[in-house]
Amino acid sequence: MQLTPPTEWTHLATHQDLANLETRLGARMDGLEADLRASEARLIGELHRPLRLQTIWLIGAIFTLAALILTAAKYL
């Protein structure tokens, strides 16, 4: 016991203390993981509609430009 710092025995952690800490940390991590998954699902839901609309607009713009290029090439 010469290697332990000078302290009282009540300040040392027991196996039960460590088990309780592990349980509390596990529960806390589970809660954080659930919050993260909920935030991820919300973010995906918020981005779905704008990305869909952007894709539709871009496809329309591409077809319009292709039609203009083909028409211009036809008259040149």
Q: What string of DSSP letters covers 1-70?
A: -TTS-S--GGGSPPHHHHHHHHHHHHHHHHHHHHHHHHHHHHHHHHHHHHHHHHHHHHHHHHHHHHHHHH
pTM of the model: 0.57
Q: Which structural domain, as residue segments, surrounds residue 65? A: 15-75
pLDDT in tens, 16-70: 999 999 999 999 999 999 999 999 999 999 999 999 999 999 999 999 999 999 9
Residue 4 lies inside a defined structural domain of this protein = no
Residue 7 lies inside a defined structural domain of this protein = no
Number of domains in the chain: 1
Residue 50 lies inside a defined structural domain of this protein = yes
